[in-house]
Structure 1
Amino acid sequence: MDSLDLQVLNQARAWFAQGRKVWLVTVIETWGSAPRPPGALLCLRDDGLVVGSVSGGCVEDDLIDRVRHGERVDAPSLIAYGVTKEEAARFGLPCGGNLRLVQEPVVDVAWIDEIIERTSRHELVARVLDLHDGRGRVEPAHRSEGFSFDGRVMRAVFGPRWRMLIIGAGQLSRVLAQMALPLDFEVTCCDPREEYHLTWDVPGTHFSRAMPDDVVLEMQLDPHSAVVAVTHDPKLDDMVLLEALKSPAFYVGALGSRSNTAKRKERLALFDLSPGEIGRLHGPIGLDLGSRTPAEIAVSILAEIIAVRNGVTLVQKKQGSAVPVPGNALTGP
Protein backbone atom coordinates (compact mmCIF):
# COMPACT_ATOMS: atom_id res chain seq x y z
CA MET A 1 0.00 0.00 0.00
CA ASP A 2 1.22 3.46 -0.86
CA SER A 3 2.14 5.19 2.41
CA LEU A 4 0.14 8.21 1.21
CA ASP A 5 -3.02 6.07 1.24
CA LEU A 6 -2.41 5.19 4.89
CA GLN A 7 -2.12 8.90 5.68
CA VAL A 8 -5.44 9.46 3.89
CA LEU A 9 -7.22 6.79 5.95
CA ASN A 10 -5.76 8.12 9.20
CA GLN A 11 -6.87 11.64 8.35
CA ALA A 12 -10.37 10.49 7.37
CA ARG A 13 -10.69 8.76 10.73
CA ALA A 14 -9.47 11.84 12.61
CA TRP A 15 -11.81 14.24 10.81
CA PHE A 16 -14.77 11.88 11.31
CA ALA A 17 -13.99 11.71 15.04
CA GLN A 18 -14.14 15.52 15.13
CA GLY A 19 -17.71 15.39 13.83
CA ARG A 20 -16.89 16.62 10.32
CA LYS A 21 -18.50 15.31 7.14
CA VAL A 22 -15.89 13.38 5.19
CA TRP A 23 -15.73 11.77 1.75
CA LEU A 24 -13.21 9.33 0.30
CA VAL A 25 -12.42 9.51 -3.41
CA THR A 26 -10.78 6.52 -5.15
CA VAL A 27 -9.33 6.31 -8.64
CA ILE A 28 -10.99 3.30 -10.30
CA GLU A 29 -9.96 3.64 -13.97
CA THR A 30 -7.62 5.72 -16.09
CA TRP A 31 -7.01 6.02 -19.82
CA GLY A 32 -4.10 7.74 -21.48
CA SER A 33 -1.70 9.63 -19.26
CA ALA A 34 -2.71 9.73 -15.59
CA PRO A 35 -0.55 10.90 -12.67
CA ARG A 36 -2.17 8.59 -10.11
CA PRO A 37 -2.91 4.86 -10.53
CA PRO A 38 -6.16 2.98 -9.86
CA GLY A 39 -6.64 2.62 -6.13
CA ALA A 40 -5.14 6.02 -5.28
CA LEU A 41 -7.05 7.76 -2.49
CA LEU A 42 -8.09 11.28 -1.53
CA CYS A 43 -9.92 12.39 1.61
CA LEU A 44 -12.18 15.44 1.31
CA ARG A 45 -13.59 17.40 4.26
CA ASP A 46 -16.82 19.41 4.21
CA ASP A 47 -14.96 22.74 4.18
CA GLY A 48 -12.79 21.74 1.21
CA LEU A 49 -9.66 20.57 3.00
CA VAL A 50 -8.05 17.55 1.29
CA VAL A 51 -5.38 14.96 2.00
CA GLY A 52 -4.08 12.68 -0.73
CA SER A 53 -4.29 12.95 -4.48
CA VAL A 54 -6.18 11.49 -7.43
CA SER A 55 -4.80 13.64 -10.25
CA GLY A 56 -1.92 15.74 -9.00
CA GLY A 57 -4.07 18.82 -8.37
CA CYS A 58 -6.28 19.65 -11.35
CA VAL A 59 -9.25 17.39 -10.56
CA GLU A 60 -8.90 18.02 -6.83
CA ASP A 61 -9.83 21.67 -7.37
CA ASP A 62 -13.11 20.65 -9.01
CA LEU A 63 -13.93 18.16 -6.24
CA ILE A 64 -13.33 20.87 -3.63
CA ASP A 65 -15.51 23.30 -5.56
CA ARG A 66 -18.34 20.77 -5.76
CA VAL A 67 -18.36 20.21 -1.99
CA ARG A 68 -18.16 23.91 -1.20
CA HIS A 69 -21.18 24.52 -3.44
CA GLY A 70 -23.28 21.87 -1.73
CA GLU A 71 -22.77 18.84 -3.98
CA ARG A 72 -22.37 16.26 -1.22
CA VAL A 73 -23.09 12.64 -2.13
CA ASP A 74 -24.68 10.40 0.50
CA ALA A 75 -23.92 7.07 -1.25
CA PRO A 76 -21.03 5.74 -3.36
CA SER A 77 -21.14 7.55 -6.71
CA LEU A 78 -19.14 7.49 -9.95
CA ILE A 79 -17.49 10.63 -11.30
CA ALA A 80 -15.84 10.88 -14.75
CA TYR A 81 -13.35 13.48 -15.97
CA GLY A 82 -11.81 14.03 -19.37
CA VAL A 83 -14.51 12.35 -21.45
CA THR A 84 -13.91 14.91 -24.21
CA LYS A 85 -10.68 16.56 -25.36
CA GLU A 86 -12.04 19.91 -24.18
CA GLU A 87 -12.82 18.58 -20.70
CA ALA A 88 -9.44 16.83 -20.50
CA ALA A 89 -7.77 20.15 -21.33
CA ARG A 90 -9.94 21.97 -18.79
CA PHE A 91 -8.90 19.65 -15.98
CA GLY A 92 -5.27 19.45 -17.03
CA LEU A 93 -5.32 15.76 -17.96
CA PRO A 94 -2.37 15.30 -20.34
CA CYS A 95 -2.61 13.66 -23.77
CA GLY A 96 -6.40 13.45 -23.62
CA GLY A 97 -6.27 11.28 -20.50
CA ASN A 98 -9.52 10.19 -18.86
CA LEU A 99 -10.21 9.50 -15.21
CA ARG A 100 -13.03 7.72 -13.36
CA LEU A 101 -13.48 8.02 -9.61
CA VAL A 102 -15.68 6.69 -6.84
CA GLN A 103 -16.72 9.23 -4.23
CA GLU A 104 -18.23 7.85 -1.03
CA PRO A 105 -19.27 9.36 2.28
CA VAL A 106 -17.54 8.11 5.42
CA VAL A 107 -20.46 6.99 7.59
CA ASP A 108 -18.42 4.91 10.03
CA VAL A 109 -14.73 4.23 10.58
CA ALA A 110 -14.85 0.66 11.87
CA TRP A 111 -13.48 -0.63 8.57
CA ILE A 112 -10.73 2.01 8.62
CA ASP A 113 -9.83 0.99 12.18
CA GLU A 114 -9.64 -2.64 11.06
CA ILE A 115 -7.41 -1.88 8.07
CA ILE A 116 -5.03 0.29 10.10
CA GLU A 117 -4.87 -2.27 12.91
CA ARG A 118 -4.29 -5.24 10.62
CA THR A 119 -1.77 -3.54 8.36
CA SER A 120 0.15 -2.45 11.47
CA ARG A 121 0.64 -6.18 12.06
CA HIS A 122 1.98 -6.41 8.48
CA GLU A 123 -1.15 -8.18 7.24
CA LEU A 124 -2.26 -7.73 3.64
CA VAL A 125 -5.99 -7.05 3.43
CA ALA A 126 -8.57 -6.02 0.87
CA ARG A 127 -11.47 -3.70 1.34
CA VAL A 128 -14.42 -4.78 -0.82
CA LEU A 129 -17.16 -2.22 -1.57
CA ASP A 130 -20.39 -2.92 -3.48
CA LEU A 131 -21.37 0.35 -5.14
CA HIS A 132 -24.98 -0.73 -5.62
CA ASP A 133 -25.85 -1.14 -1.94
CA GLY A 134 -22.88 0.60 -0.29
CA ARG A 135 -21.97 -2.48 1.71
CA GLY A 136 -18.33 -3.20 2.40
CA ARG A 137 -16.10 -5.69 4.17
CA VAL A 138 -12.42 -6.25 4.94
CA GLU A 139 -10.89 -9.61 4.10
CA PRO A 140 -7.45 -11.20 3.60
CA ALA A 141 -5.64 -10.46 0.34
CA HIS A 142 -2.76 -11.98 -1.59
CA ARG A 143 0.49 -10.35 -2.72
CA SER A 144 -0.34 -10.99 -6.36
CA GLU A 145 -3.52 -8.93 -6.10
CA GLY A 146 -3.90 -5.32 -7.11
CA PHE A 147 -6.78 -2.87 -7.25
CA SER A 148 -9.80 -4.07 -9.23
CA PHE A 149 -13.24 -2.78 -10.24
CA ASP A 150 -15.76 -4.77 -12.29
CA GLY A 151 -18.36 -2.04 -12.72
CA ARG A 152 -20.08 -2.79 -9.45
CA VAL A 153 -17.60 -4.12 -6.87
CA MET A 154 -14.44 -2.24 -5.95
CA ARG A 155 -11.60 -4.19 -4.33
CA ALA A 156 -8.71 -2.14 -2.89
CA VAL A 157 -5.64 -3.81 -1.38
CA PHE A 158 -3.94 -2.39 1.71
CA GLY A 159 -0.73 -3.44 3.39
CA PRO A 160 2.83 -4.21 2.27
CA ARG A 161 2.65 -6.19 -0.97
CA TRP A 162 6.44 -6.47 -1.25
CA ARG A 163 9.04 -7.88 1.14
CA MET A 164 12.66 -6.90 1.63
CA LEU A 165 15.21 -8.97 3.53
CA ILE A 166 18.30 -6.99 4.54
CA ILE A 167 21.36 -8.91 5.73
CA GLY A 168 23.38 -6.79 8.13
CA ALA A 169 22.29 -4.20 10.69
CA GLY A 170 24.78 -1.42 10.06
CA GLN A 171 24.18 2.24 9.28
CA LEU A 172 23.45 1.61 5.59
CA SER A 173 20.86 -1.02 6.51
CA ARG A 174 19.04 1.34 8.86
CA VAL A 175 18.78 4.06 6.21
CA LEU A 176 17.76 1.51 3.58
CA ALA A 177 15.02 0.10 5.82
CA GLN A 178 13.65 3.56 6.63
CA MET A 179 13.42 4.41 2.93
CA ALA A 180 11.94 1.03 1.94
CA LEU A 181 8.95 1.21 4.30
CA PRO A 182 7.07 3.98 2.42
CA LEU A 183 7.84 2.18 -0.86
CA ASP A 184 5.39 -0.61 0.02
CA PHE A 185 7.96 -3.01 1.49
CA GLU A 186 7.61 -5.11 4.62
CA VAL A 187 11.20 -5.04 5.90
CA THR A 188 13.08 -7.75 7.78
CA CYS A 189 16.67 -7.22 8.91
CA CYS A 190 18.80 -10.22 9.79
CA ASP A 191 22.09 -10.07 11.67
CA PRO A 192 23.27 -12.77 14.10
CA ARG A 193 26.16 -10.60 15.34
CA GLU A 194 25.35 -9.38 18.85
CA GLU A 195 27.25 -6.10 18.55
CA TYR A 196 24.94 -5.13 15.66
CA HIS A 197 21.47 -6.30 16.67
CA LEU A 198 21.60 -4.32 19.94
CA THR A 199 21.64 -1.06 17.97
CA TRP A 200 18.80 -1.82 15.54
CA ASP A 201 16.18 0.89 16.07
CA VAL A 202 13.95 1.13 12.98
CA PRO A 203 10.25 1.19 13.93
CA GLY A 204 7.92 -0.83 11.72
CA THR A 205 10.53 -3.46 10.77
CA HIS A 206 11.19 -7.03 11.85
CA PHE A 207 14.56 -8.11 13.24
CA SER A 208 16.02 -11.61 13.34
CA ARG A 209 19.17 -12.91 15.03
CA ALA A 210 18.95 -16.22 13.18
CA MET A 211 21.47 -17.26 10.55
CA PRO A 212 20.68 -15.66 7.17
CA ASP A 213 20.16 -18.90 5.24
CA ASP A 214 17.66 -20.06 7.87
CA VAL A 215 15.74 -16.79 7.58
CA VAL A 216 15.55 -17.13 3.79
CA LEU A 217 14.08 -20.61 4.10
CA GLU A 218 11.66 -19.50 6.82
CA MET A 219 10.42 -16.54 4.76
CA GLN A 220 9.73 -18.73 1.71
CA LEU A 221 10.78 -16.00 -0.71
CA ASP A 222 8.37 -15.37 -3.59
CA PRO A 223 8.35 -13.14 -6.70
CA HIS A 224 7.40 -10.19 -4.46
CA SER A 225 10.59 -10.50 -2.39
CA ALA A 226 13.92 -8.63 -2.57
CA VAL A 227 17.13 -9.67 -0.80
CA VAL A 228 19.91 -7.18 -0.05
CA ALA A 229 23.18 -8.43 1.47
CA VAL A 230 25.29 -5.59 2.87
CA THR A 231 27.41 -6.98 5.71
CA HIS A 232 30.75 -7.09 3.81
CA ASP A 233 31.21 -10.45 5.58
CA PRO A 234 31.29 -13.36 3.08
CA LYS A 235 30.36 -15.80 5.83
CA LEU A 236 27.00 -14.07 6.15
CA ASP A 237 26.40 -12.60 2.70
CA ASP A 238 27.32 -15.77 0.81
CA MET A 239 25.10 -17.87 3.07
CA VAL A 240 22.01 -15.92 2.11
CA LEU A 241 22.95 -15.73 -1.57
CA LEU A 242 23.24 -19.52 -1.82
CA GLU A 243 19.55 -19.81 -0.94
CA ALA A 244 18.18 -16.54 -2.34
CA LEU A 245 19.55 -17.04 -5.86
CA LYS A 246 17.67 -20.34 -6.08
CA SER A 247 14.42 -18.70 -4.93
CA PRO A 248 11.78 -16.85 -7.01
CA ALA A 249 12.81 -13.52 -5.40
CA PHE A 250 12.60 -10.76 -8.02
CA TYR A 251 15.80 -9.10 -6.78
CA VAL A 252 18.97 -10.39 -5.11
CA GLY A 253 21.88 -7.99 -4.63
CA ALA A 254 25.10 -7.81 -2.64
CA LEU A 255 27.34 -4.93 -1.65
CA GLY A 256 30.90 -5.02 -2.92
CA SER A 257 33.29 -3.79 -5.61
CA ARG A 258 33.49 -5.34 -9.08
CA SER A 259 36.53 -7.37 -8.04
CA ASN A 260 34.80 -8.57 -4.88
CA THR A 261 31.71 -9.43 -6.90
CA ALA A 262 33.83 -11.51 -9.29
CA LYS A 263 35.42 -13.37 -6.36
CA ARG A 264 31.98 -13.90 -4.82
CA LYS A 265 30.72 -15.47 -8.04
CA GLU A 266 33.73 -17.78 -8.09
CA ARG A 267 32.89 -18.91 -4.56
CA LEU A 268 29.21 -19.40 -5.41
CA ALA A 269 30.17 -21.53 -8.41
CA LEU A 270 31.70 -24.06 -6.01
CA PHE A 271 28.24 -24.87 -4.71
CA ASP A 272 25.08 -26.22 -6.34
CA LEU A 273 24.19 -23.05 -8.22
CA SER A 274 23.80 -22.96 -11.98
CA PRO A 275 25.41 -20.19 -14.08
CA GLY A 276 21.93 -18.80 -14.66
CA GLU A 277 21.23 -18.59 -10.94
CA ILE A 278 24.59 -16.93 -10.26
CA GLY A 279 23.91 -14.56 -13.15
CA ARG A 280 20.83 -13.24 -11.30
CA LEU A 281 23.04 -11.55 -8.73
CA HIS A 282 22.99 -7.74 -8.85
CA GLY A 283 26.54 -6.66 -8.18
CA PRO A 284 28.00 -4.26 -7.53
CA ILE A 285 24.67 -3.41 -5.98
CA GLY A 286 22.77 -0.26 -6.92
CA LEU A 287 22.71 2.19 -9.81
CA ASP A 288 25.72 4.37 -10.55
CA LEU A 289 24.73 7.67 -8.92
CA GLY A 290 28.19 8.58 -7.67
CA SER A 291 26.98 7.62 -4.20
CA ARG A 292 29.27 8.12 -1.22
CA THR A 293 27.23 8.42 1.99
CA PRO A 294 25.01 5.65 3.45
CA ALA A 295 21.90 7.60 2.45
CA GLU A 296 23.14 8.05 -1.13
CA ILE A 297 24.06 4.37 -1.39
CA ALA A 298 20.60 3.44 -0.05
CA VAL A 299 19.00 5.62 -2.73
CA SER A 300 21.05 3.89 -5.45
CA ILE A 301 20.06 0.43 -4.15
CA LEU A 302 16.37 1.30 -3.93
CA ALA A 303 16.46 2.94 -7.37
CA GLU A 304 17.75 -0.32 -8.81
CA ILE A 305 15.21 -2.40 -6.92
CA ILE A 306 12.35 -0.18 -8.10
CA ALA A 307 13.60 -0.36 -11.70
CA VAL A 308 13.74 -4.17 -11.54
CA ARG A 309 10.34 -4.30 -9.84
CA ASN A 310 8.87 -2.17 -12.64
CA GLY A 311 10.58 -4.12 -15.42
CA VAL A 312 12.82 -1.22 -16.46
CA THR A 313 16.11 -1.97 -18.22
CA LEU A 314 19.11 -1.09 -16.04
CA VAL A 315 21.32 1.37 -17.90
CA GLN A 316 22.82 3.39 -15.06
CA LYS A 317 25.40 0.79 -14.04
CA LYS A 318 29.16 1.07 -13.68
CA GLN A 319 31.09 -0.34 -16.60
CA GLY A 320 31.88 -3.99 -15.96
CA SER A 321 29.11 -4.45 -13.41
CA ALA A 322 27.04 -7.61 -13.39
CA VAL A 323 23.64 -6.82 -14.87
CA PRO A 324 21.20 -9.76 -14.73
CA VAL A 325 19.22 -10.54 -17.84
CA PRO A 326 15.69 -8.99 -17.65
CA GLY A 327 12.89 -11.41 -17.01
CA ASN A 328 12.94 -12.02 -13.26
CA ALA A 329 10.96 -8.92 -12.38
CA LEU A 330 7.24 -8.50 -12.09
CA THR A 331 5.65 -5.72 -14.10
CA GLY A 332 2.80 -5.17 -11.67
CA PRO A 333 1.79 -5.76 -8.07
Structure 2
Amino acid sequence: MESRILARASDAASRGERAVLVTLVGVEGPAPRAPGARMLVFADGRSEGTIGGGSLEAHAIERAQGLLLTGGTELETLDLTDRGLKCGRGKATLFYEVLSPEPELAIFGAGHVGRALARLAQEVAAFPVTVYAGRGEESTEFAAVRPVPGFKGIPALPSPSYAVICTDSHATDLDVARQVLRQDPGPAYVGMLGSQAKSAEIRTQLERDGIPPQRIADLHCPVGLPLGGRSPGLVALSILAEVVAFHHSQLAAAQARLTGRGP
Protein backbone atom coordinates (compact mmCIF):
# COMPACT_ATOMS: atom_id res chain seq x y z
CA MET A 1 0.00 0.00 0.00
CA GLU A 2 2.66 2.54 1.06
CA SER A 3 4.83 1.81 -1.98
CA ARG A 4 1.77 2.41 -4.16
CA ILE A 5 1.26 5.81 -2.55
CA LEU A 6 4.89 6.74 -3.18
CA ALA A 7 4.56 5.66 -6.80
CA ARG A 8 1.36 7.69 -7.11
CA ALA A 9 3.13 10.73 -5.65
CA SER A 10 5.92 10.40 -8.21
CA ASP A 11 3.37 10.07 -10.99
CA ALA A 12 1.49 13.18 -9.84
CA ALA A 13 4.70 15.23 -9.75
CA SER A 14 5.70 14.06 -13.23
CA ARG A 15 2.32 15.25 -14.57
CA GLY A 16 2.61 18.65 -12.91
CA GLU A 17 -0.02 17.93 -10.25
CA ARG A 18 0.75 19.43 -6.86
CA ALA A 19 -0.02 17.36 -3.77
CA VAL A 20 0.98 16.85 -0.14
CA LEU A 21 2.41 13.59 1.14
CA VAL A 22 1.33 13.01 4.74
CA THR A 23 3.33 10.40 6.66
CA LEU A 24 2.62 9.05 10.11
CA VAL A 25 6.19 9.19 11.45
CA GLY A 26 5.60 8.35 15.11
CA VAL A 27 3.02 7.21 17.64
CA GLU A 28 2.83 7.12 21.42
CA GLY A 29 0.44 4.66 22.99
CA PRO A 30 -2.51 3.23 21.05
CA ALA A 31 -2.98 4.58 17.52
CA PRO A 32 -5.13 3.56 14.53
CA ARG A 33 -2.09 2.84 12.31
CA ALA A 34 1.59 2.12 12.73
CA PRO A 35 4.39 4.55 11.79
CA GLY A 36 5.04 4.62 8.07
CA ALA A 37 1.39 4.91 7.02
CA ARG A 38 1.01 7.46 4.24
CA MET A 39 -1.68 9.50 2.56
CA LEU A 40 -1.56 11.72 -0.52
CA VAL A 41 -3.73 14.86 -0.49
CA PHE A 42 -4.56 16.88 -3.61
CA ALA A 43 -5.61 20.52 -3.95
CA ASP A 44 -9.28 19.66 -4.49
CA GLY A 45 -9.41 17.65 -1.24
CA ARG A 46 -9.10 14.22 -2.82
CA SER A 47 -6.92 11.80 -0.89
CA GLU A 48 -5.36 8.42 -1.53
CA GLY A 49 -4.12 6.05 1.15
CA THR A 50 -4.90 6.39 4.84
CA ILE A 51 -3.19 7.35 8.08
CA GLY A 52 -6.00 6.03 10.23
CA GLY A 53 -9.25 7.58 9.11
CA GLY A 54 -11.75 9.54 11.16
CA SER A 55 -11.14 13.01 12.54
CA LEU A 56 -7.34 12.55 12.47
CA GLU A 57 -7.43 12.09 8.71
CA ALA A 58 -9.92 14.92 8.22
CA HIS A 59 -7.63 17.24 10.16
CA ALA A 60 -4.61 16.13 8.11
CA ILE A 61 -6.44 16.76 4.83
CA GLU A 62 -7.41 20.27 5.92
CA ARG A 63 -3.87 21.01 7.09
CA ALA A 64 -2.39 19.65 3.87
CA GLN A 65 -4.62 21.86 1.72
CA GLY A 66 -3.42 24.88 3.68
CA LEU A 67 0.19 23.91 3.04
CA LEU A 68 -0.44 23.79 -0.69
CA LEU A 69 -0.88 27.55 -0.50
CA THR A 70 2.34 28.19 1.40
CA GLY A 71 4.61 25.30 0.39
CA GLY A 72 7.30 23.66 2.48
CA THR A 73 7.14 20.96 5.13
CA GLU A 74 5.65 20.67 8.59
CA LEU A 75 5.87 18.32 11.56
CA GLU A 76 2.81 18.11 13.82
CA THR A 77 2.06 16.05 16.93
CA LEU A 78 -1.59 15.49 17.81
CA ASP A 79 -3.23 14.14 20.95
CA LEU A 80 -5.61 11.50 19.67
CA THR A 81 -7.99 11.93 22.58
CA ASP A 82 -8.48 15.51 21.40
CA ARG A 83 -9.42 14.07 18.00
CA GLY A 84 -12.27 12.09 19.52
CA LEU A 85 -10.51 8.77 18.92
CA LYS A 86 -10.77 6.07 21.56
CA CYS A 87 -7.07 5.28 21.61
CA GLY A 88 -6.37 5.81 25.29
CA ARG A 89 -3.75 8.53 25.62
CA GLY A 90 -2.22 7.96 22.23
CA LYS A 91 -0.42 10.60 20.21
CA ALA A 92 0.38 10.72 16.52
CA THR A 93 3.14 12.70 14.81
CA LEU A 94 2.52 13.62 11.18
CA PHE A 95 5.02 14.88 8.63
CA TYR A 96 3.60 16.98 5.77
CA GLU A 97 5.62 17.44 2.58
CA VAL A 98 4.44 19.53 -0.36
CA LEU A 99 5.35 17.78 -3.60
CA SER A 100 5.89 20.32 -6.36
CA PRO A 101 6.68 19.31 -9.93
CA GLU A 102 10.38 19.41 -10.78
CA PRO A 103 11.14 22.13 -13.33
CA GLU A 104 12.11 20.96 -16.81
CA LEU A 105 14.82 22.62 -18.87
CA ALA A 106 13.41 23.01 -22.38
CA ILE A 107 16.12 23.71 -24.97
CA PHE A 108 15.03 24.92 -28.40
CA GLY A 109 17.74 24.03 -30.87
CA ALA A 110 20.07 21.06 -31.11
CA GLY A 111 23.13 22.89 -32.41
CA HIS A 112 26.49 23.11 -30.67
CA VAL A 113 25.27 25.23 -27.75
CA GLY A 114 22.01 23.33 -27.34
CA ARG A 115 23.76 19.98 -27.22
CA ALA A 116 26.43 21.24 -24.83
CA LEU A 117 23.78 22.72 -22.54
CA ALA A 118 21.78 19.48 -22.55
CA ARG A 119 24.86 17.39 -21.70
CA LEU A 120 25.99 19.74 -18.96
CA ALA A 121 22.56 20.01 -17.33
CA GLN A 122 22.20 16.25 -17.23
CA GLU A 123 25.76 15.56 -16.09
CA VAL A 124 25.28 17.77 -13.03
CA ALA A 125 21.68 16.60 -12.53
CA ALA A 126 20.41 20.17 -12.61
CA PHE A 127 16.99 19.50 -14.20
CA PRO A 128 15.24 17.00 -16.44
CA VAL A 129 16.04 18.08 -20.01
CA THR A 130 14.09 18.02 -23.25
CA VAL A 131 15.64 19.30 -26.46
CA TYR A 132 13.19 20.54 -29.08
CA ALA A 133 14.79 20.02 -32.49
CA GLY A 134 13.54 21.70 -35.63
CA ARG A 135 15.59 19.87 -38.26
CA GLY A 136 15.17 16.20 -37.43
CA GLU A 137 18.18 15.83 -35.14
CA GLU A 138 17.91 12.47 -33.44
CA SER A 139 20.34 12.64 -30.54
CA THR A 140 22.14 15.00 -28.21
CA GLU A 141 23.97 12.06 -26.60
CA PHE A 142 22.20 12.51 -23.27
CA ALA A 143 18.91 14.41 -23.48
CA ALA A 144 15.53 13.38 -24.78
CA VAL A 145 14.91 14.94 -28.17
CA ARG A 146 11.46 15.99 -29.29
CA PRO A 147 11.16 16.85 -32.99
CA VAL A 148 9.23 20.01 -33.87
CA PRO A 149 9.71 20.42 -37.65
CA GLY A 150 10.55 24.01 -38.44
CA PHE A 151 9.65 24.90 -34.83
CA LYS A 152 6.05 25.29 -35.92
CA GLY A 153 3.35 24.47 -33.38
CA ILE A 154 5.52 24.37 -30.27
CA PRO A 155 3.71 22.39 -27.55
CA ALA A 156 2.57 24.06 -24.35
CA LEU A 157 5.28 24.02 -21.72
CA PRO A 158 4.43 23.42 -18.05
CA SER A 159 4.73 26.48 -15.80
CA PRO A 160 7.50 24.91 -13.69
CA SER A 161 9.84 24.95 -16.70
CA TYR A 162 12.79 26.99 -17.93
CA ALA A 163 13.15 27.61 -21.67
CA VAL A 164 16.37 28.42 -23.53
CA ILE A 165 16.16 29.43 -27.19
CA CYS A 166 19.28 28.73 -29.26
CA THR A 167 18.18 27.75 -32.77
CA ASP A 168 20.24 28.21 -35.92
CA SER A 169 18.84 31.57 -37.03
CA HIS A 170 17.71 34.95 -35.76
CA ALA A 171 14.32 34.61 -37.48
CA THR A 172 13.66 31.20 -35.94
CA ASP A 173 14.66 32.43 -32.49
CA LEU A 174 12.11 35.22 -32.86
CA ASP A 175 9.40 32.79 -33.98
CA VAL A 176 10.08 30.46 -31.04
CA ALA A 177 10.14 33.36 -28.58
CA ARG A 178 6.85 34.63 -29.94
CA GLN A 179 5.19 31.23 -29.42
CA VAL A 180 6.68 30.61 -25.98
CA LEU A 181 5.91 34.06 -24.59
CA ARG A 182 2.29 33.78 -25.72
CA GLN A 183 1.74 30.68 -23.61
CA ASP A 184 -0.29 31.14 -20.44
CA PRO A 185 1.12 30.77 -17.86
CA GLY A 186 4.13 29.59 -19.85
CA PRO A 187 7.67 28.93 -18.59
CA ALA A 188 8.91 30.70 -15.49
CA TYR A 189 12.16 31.59 -17.29
CA VAL A 190 12.84 32.28 -20.98
CA GLY A 191 16.36 32.92 -22.23
CA MET A 192 17.67 33.53 -25.73
CA LEU A 193 21.15 33.32 -27.19
CA GLY A 194 22.28 36.58 -28.79
CA SER A 195 23.91 39.97 -28.57
CA GLN A 196 22.70 43.24 -27.10
CA ALA A 197 21.83 44.43 -30.61
CA LYS A 198 19.83 41.28 -31.29
CA SER A 199 18.08 41.67 -27.94
CA ALA A 200 16.93 45.19 -28.80
CA GLU A 201 15.68 44.11 -32.22
CA ILE A 202 13.87 41.07 -30.86
CA ARG A 203 12.15 43.07 -28.13
CA THR A 204 10.99 45.71 -30.61
CA GLN A 205 9.50 43.03 -32.86
CA LEU A 206 7.83 41.22 -29.96
CA GLU A 207 6.22 44.50 -28.90
CA ARG A 208 4.88 44.99 -32.43
CA ASP A 209 3.50 41.44 -32.28
CA GLY A 210 1.45 42.30 -29.21
CA ILE A 211 3.42 40.32 -26.63
CA PRO A 212 2.63 41.74 -23.15
CA PRO A 213 5.34 44.19 -21.99
CA GLN A 214 6.02 42.27 -18.78
CA ARG A 215 6.66 39.06 -20.70
CA ILE A 216 9.08 40.91 -22.97
CA ALA A 217 10.85 42.44 -19.97
CA ASP A 218 11.26 38.97 -18.46
CA LEU A 219 13.09 37.67 -21.55
CA HIS A 220 16.75 36.99 -20.70
CA CYS A 221 18.64 38.04 -23.82
CA PRO A 222 21.59 37.86 -24.04
CA VAL A 223 21.16 34.70 -21.97
CA GLY A 224 23.81 33.57 -19.51
CA LEU A 225 25.95 35.06 -16.77
CA PRO A 226 29.02 36.99 -18.01
CA LEU A 227 31.61 34.36 -17.14
CA GLY A 228 33.80 34.87 -20.21
CA GLY A 229 34.58 32.51 -23.07
CA ARG A 230 32.85 31.91 -26.40
CA SER A 231 33.15 28.17 -27.00
CA PRO A 232 29.86 26.22 -27.02
CA GLY A 233 30.79 24.53 -23.74
CA LEU A 234 31.58 27.77 -21.94
CA VAL A 235 28.48 29.48 -23.32
CA ALA A 236 26.43 26.52 -22.11
CA LEU A 237 28.08 26.81 -18.69
CA SER A 238 27.14 30.50 -18.47
CA ILE A 239 23.54 29.73 -19.45
CA LEU A 240 23.15 26.89 -16.97
CA ALA A 241 24.68 29.03 -14.21
CA GLU A 242 22.07 31.72 -14.87
CA VAL A 243 19.17 29.24 -14.92
CA VAL A 244 20.33 27.59 -11.68
CA ALA A 245 20.71 31.01 -10.01
CA PHE A 246 17.20 31.93 -11.16
CA HIS A 247 15.84 28.62 -9.85
CA HIS A 248 17.27 29.33 -6.41
CA SER A 249 16.20 33.02 -6.42
CA GLN A 250 19.85 34.06 -6.48
CA LEU A 251 20.11 35.58 -9.95
CA ALA A 252 20.23 39.23 -8.84
CA ALA A 253 22.89 38.40 -6.23
CA ALA A 254 24.97 36.47 -8.77
CA GLN A 255 24.79 39.30 -11.29
CA ALA A 256 25.76 41.83 -8.63
CA ARG A 257 28.81 39.82 -7.58
CA LEU A 258 29.97 39.38 -11.17
CA THR A 259 29.73 43.12 -11.82
CA GLY A 260 31.46 44.05 -8.58
CA ARG A 261 28.35 45.44 -6.89
CA GLY A 262 27.87 42.59 -4.44
CA PRO A 263 29.84 41.19 -1.48
TM bucket, shorter chain: 0.5 to 0.7
State how far apart, in whole Å, the 2-side matches of 1:255 and 1:270 are: 21
Could you tell me how far 1:123 is from its partner in structure 2? 5.0
Give yes or no for the alignment of 1:209 onto 2:148.
yes
| Structure 1 residues 220 and 123: alpha-carbon distance in aligned structure 2, compared to 1, 3 A threshold | closer
Aligned with residue 268 of structure 1, among 187, 206, 215: 206
Which is worse superposed, 153-162 or 182-191?
A: 153-162
State how far apart, in whole Å, the 1-side matches of 2:70 and 2:156 are: 19
Could you tell me how far 1:193 is from its partner in structure 2? 0.7
Could you tell me how far 1:220 is from its partner in structure 2? 4.3
Letter in 2 for 1:243: Q
- Partner residue in 1 for 2:139: 199
CA contact (8 A) 1:141 1:157 kept: no
State how far apart, in whole Å, the 2-side matches of 1:233 and 1:317 are: 32
- Partner residue in 1 for 2:166: 230
SS of the residue aligned with 2:222?
A: coil
Could you tell me how far 1:165 is from its partner in structure 2? 1.5
State how far apart, in whole Å, the 1-side matches of 2:149 and 2:39 are: 34
Letter in 1 for 2:200: A
Give yes or no for the alignment of 1:241 onto 2:166.
no
Aligned with residue 36 of structure 2, among 121, 126, 135: 135
| Structure 1 residues 291 and 160: alpha-carbon distance in aligned structure 2, compared to 1, 3 A threshold | farther
Paired residue total:
205
Letter in 1 for 2:36: R
State how far apart, in whole Å, the 1-side matches of 2:98 and 2:129 are: 18
Where structure 2 has 5 or more consecutive residues not aligned to the other structure, the ranges are 28-33, 44-67, 77-92
State how far apart, in whole Å, the 2-side matches of 1:140 and 1:187 are: 28
CA contact (8 A) 1:160 1:185 kept: no
Aligned with residue 222 of structure 2, among 268, 276, 284: 284
| Structure 1 residues 139 and 173: alpha-carbon distance in aligned structure 2, compared to 1, 3 A threshold | farther
Where structure 1 has 5 or more consecutive residues not aligned to the other structure, the ranges are 1-107, 320-333
Percent of matched pairs sharing the same residue: 25
Aligned with residue 75 of structure 2, among 113, 135, 150: 150
State how far apart, in whole Å, the 2-side matches of 1:213 and 1:141 are: 35
Normalising by the residue count of structure 1, what TM-score does the alignment of the two structures yield? 0.50
CA contact (8 A) 1:265 1:278 kept: yes
Letter in 1 for 2:177: L
State how far apart, in whole Å, the 1-side matches of 2:226 and 2:236 are: 12
State how far apart, in whole Å, the 2-side matches of 1:138 and 1:252 are: 36
SS of the residue aligned with 1:150?
A: strand
Normalising by the residue count of structure 2, what TM-score does the alignment of the two structures yield? 0.62
CA contact (8 A) 1:162 1:184 kept: no
